[in-house]
């Protein structure tokens, strides 16, 4: 039988990551224990206003698309198919168009949405919860950095590894995204 050895997962902490020097531990401990907590200037009212603005904009676009479909129904087959659905089931057509437009808007702004959620956490989380992090930069700052650098999918994966695999124990560490 041929021996096949599986690679070790990247979160295997003891072999992948070496013990930080005492100097690094002291710097990270001073940062974590004595830093002033950053509370971003964001709140629920701003987010509700922004979401209502985006939803109103989406409604305007949907009604604009209806107007175009009604006036240009003979120019394309797609428009005539859409108009047939519109005349048979107008409410369903409106909902599908509205949901589709919201999905497109969500996908275009998902990075900003994720960073906004993290900033809400930074604003509203209690101090004792935020001071549990043993890393420099803190886990929420790290998550924002990796989302900005790598995008939403890889960034959230790296944040997951940081939060649930690396952030264990009682050793202060310096861990900037590479």
| CB atoms closer than 10 angstroms to residue 56 | 10
pLDDT above 60 for 154:
yes
Cα torsion 117, 120, 124, 129: sign: positive
Q: Is the pTM of this model over 0.75?
A: no
pLDDT above 60 for 168:
yes
Tens of pLDDT, residue by residue over 12-31, are: 444 455 777 888 888 888 88
Compute the C-alpha angle 30/33/34, nearest 5°: 75
pLDDT of residue 88: 83
Model confidence at 37, in pLDDT bands (50, 70, 90)? confident
Domain boundaries defined on the chain: 9-36+132-178, 44-110
How many Å apart are CA 9 and CA 30, to the nearest integer?
31
Tens of pLDDT, residue by residue over 86-137, are: 778 878 888 888 898 889 988 888 999 999 899 989 988 898 888 888 888 8
pLDDT above 80 for 170:
no
Measured between its terminal Cα atoms, the distance across the chain in Å is 40
69 vs 10 pLDDT, higher one: 69
How many Å apart are CA 101 and CA 82, to the nearest integer?
15
């Amino acid at each position: 039988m041929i021996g096949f050895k599986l690679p070790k997962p990247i979160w295997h902490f003891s072999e992948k990551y070496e013990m930080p020097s005492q100097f690094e531990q002291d710097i990270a401990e001073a940062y974590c224990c004595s830093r002033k907590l950053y509370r971003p200037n964001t709140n629920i009212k701003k987010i509700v206003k922004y979401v209502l603005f985006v939803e109103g904009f989406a409604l305007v676009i949907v009604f604009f698309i209806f107007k175009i479909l009604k006036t240009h129904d003979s120019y394309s087959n797609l428009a005539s198919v859409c108009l047939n659905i519109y005349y048979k089931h107008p409410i369903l057509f409106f909902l599908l168009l509205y949901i589709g437009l919201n999905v497109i808007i969500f996908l275009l702004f998902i990075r900003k949405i994720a960073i906004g959620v993290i900033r809400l956490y930074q604003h509203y989380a209690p101090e004792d919860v935020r001071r549990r992090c043993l890393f420099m930069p803190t886990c929420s700052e790290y998550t924002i950095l990796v989302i900005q650098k790598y995008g939403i999918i890889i960034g959230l994966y790296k944040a997951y590894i940081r939060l649930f695999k690396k952030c264990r124990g009682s050793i202060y560490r310096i861990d900037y995204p590479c």
